[in-house]
Amino acid sequence: MKPGPGPEKSAVTPAPQGAAVLPSGRAVPAGRAGTNIRRLENRAAYMFLIPWLAGLFGITIIPVTVSLYLSFTDYNVLSAPTWVGLENYEKLISGDRRYENSLWVTLKFVGYSVPLVLVFSLTVAVVLNRGLAGLAIYRSLFYVPSLIGASVGIGLLWYQVFGERGVFNDLLGLFGFEGRSWVTNPRYALSTVIALNVWTFGASMVIFLAALRQIPDSYYEAASIDGANGWQKFRRITLPLLTPVIFFNMVLLTIQSFQSFTQAFVISRGTGGPVDSTLLYTVYLYQRAFQHLEMGYASAMAWVLLIAIALFTALIFWSAKYWVFYGDK
């Protein structure tokens, strides 16, 4: 589409270094008119950003800072916070067995969930990408659990599925195994929460599918001519080219899993039980903050979580140079 004719058009000159530029990349005339347009654009941009800037400071930055302050205090909402120095953090490191336990539960949850989701989503995506008919239908159906998996309703269903008279035991019965109540058994309760998380692998799968479509067919054709078999093609072409997307999904899943709350909360009926076996970090934080009103302590927990997520993300980013393949290398 061409701009209509106008007097401005004839005034166009090449852009000097750093001069304001019209949307098309042509220079705004230098001199006072140019700086004016730049100033106008600057002001307009900040006007557009007002709601976001208000939220950035009011909803995000200031609360995060206040939260850091509260983590050094004893605060129960009703009376003013009192400064206690590092006491909350000292208690976190030594002296809170439930906290220590919640760390292990969370690490186990993340450590099992993320790899399992990656393996499932990648496998199903690769199978679907082999030119099977009905790809769109399969994709939608596999995505359905991701839509509803985070809801309270599915948590309630899960409690029944893995209950003593649940569907899972019916299935085991078919193979002659004797069932039990999985959700009320401390040894297995966390596994049911992990299973629910893995159940929602469809969202990652959709991302993998989109990435698989970007791999040119010619790569596979060339490999076929050289006599490569299916596994070799996957191992030598698909997998290396997918590493950036595996990396992306891994970061996303890790951040999400650390913050997982609803499913453990619902399956354990709000307790994190049995015997704290499903006491995820966020569930414990919720209990401390909103059931015991220990806002200072919970703030310290929140900051440790923030730093833990940052560290794990950084670790994945650091590891990327050893296994993520970018085409230009």
| Window 44 to 73, contacts with another protein (CB under 8 A) | 44-49, 51-52, 54-56, 58-60, 62-64, 66-67, 70
Tell me how far, at minimum, the Cβ of 244 lies from another protein, in Å: 7
Phi, psi of 182, deg, nearest 5: -80, -35
- Residue spans of alpha helices (H) in 129-261: 135-148, 152-161, 167-174, 189-199, 202-212, 217-225, 230-233, 239-258
Give the nearest distance from C-beta 25 to another protein in angstroms: 7
Residue from 11, 148, 275, 315 touching another protein (CB under 8 A): that is 148
Q: Whole-angstrom Cα distance, residue 200 to residue 121?
A: 9
# residues contacting another protein (CB under 8 A): 103
**Is 82 in a helix, a strand, or coil?**
strand
- Under the binding rule (CB under 8 A), the answer on residue 221 touching another protein is no
Other residues' Cβ atoms within 10 Å of the Cβ of residue 24: 7
Closest to another protein by CB, 118 vs 301, is: 301
> What is the smallest separation between the CB atom of 232 and another protein, expressed in angstroms?
17
Kindly give, in sequence order, each residue whose CB lies less than 8 Å from that of residue 169, ignoring residues fewer than 6 positions away.
179, 180
User: Shortest distance, CB of residue 66 to another protein, whole angstroms?
Assistant: 4
3 state DSSP class of 122: helix
82 binds another protein (CB under 8 A): no
The answer to whether 216 contacts another protein (rule: CB under 8 A) is no
Give, as ranges, the residues between 194 and 213 that touch another protein (CB under 8 A).
Answer: 199, 203, 206-207, 209-211
Please state whether beta strands 73-74 and 82-83 pair in parallel, antiparallel, or not at all (unpaired). antiparallel
Q: Give whichever of 65 and 232 is closer to another protein, judged by the CB atom.
A: 65
Residues 260-279 contacting another protein, CB under 8 A? 261-262, 265-266, 269-270
By the rule CB under 8 A, 4 interacts with another protein: yes
Nearer to another protein by Cβ, of 190 and 264: the residue is: 264
One residue of 87, 91, 143, 188 binding another protein per CB under 8 A: 143
DSSP output for 126-163:
HHHTTT-TTHHHHHHHHHHHHHHTTSHHHHHHHHHHTS
- The answer to whether 223 contacts another protein (rule: CB under 8 A) is no
In whole angstroms, what is the distance from residue 312 CA to residue 297 CA?
23
Binding mask 230-259 for another protein (x = CB under 8 A): --------------xx--x------x--xx
Question: Phi and psi dihedrals of 132, rounded to 5?
Answer: -70, 145
Q: How far is the CB of 121 from another protein (least distance, A)?
A: 12
> Which is closer to another protein, CB of 81 or CB of 237?
81
Is residue 327 within the footprint of another protein (CB under 8 A)?
no
Residue 20 is a binding residue for another protein (CB under 8 A):
yes
Q: Which of 33, 119, 167, 311 binds another protein (CB under 8 A)?
A: 167
- Residues sharing a CB contact under 8 Å with residue 197, sequence separation 6 or more, in sequence order: 109, 113, 117, 149, 257, 260, 263
Q: What is the DSSP string of 258-301?
A: HT--HHHHHHTTTTT-STTTT--HHHHHHIIIIIS--HHHHHHH
Contacts (CB under 8 A) with another protein, residues 288-307 = 289-290, 295, 298-299, 301-303, 305-306
Q: Per rule CB under 8 A, is residue 174 in the interface with another protein?
A: no
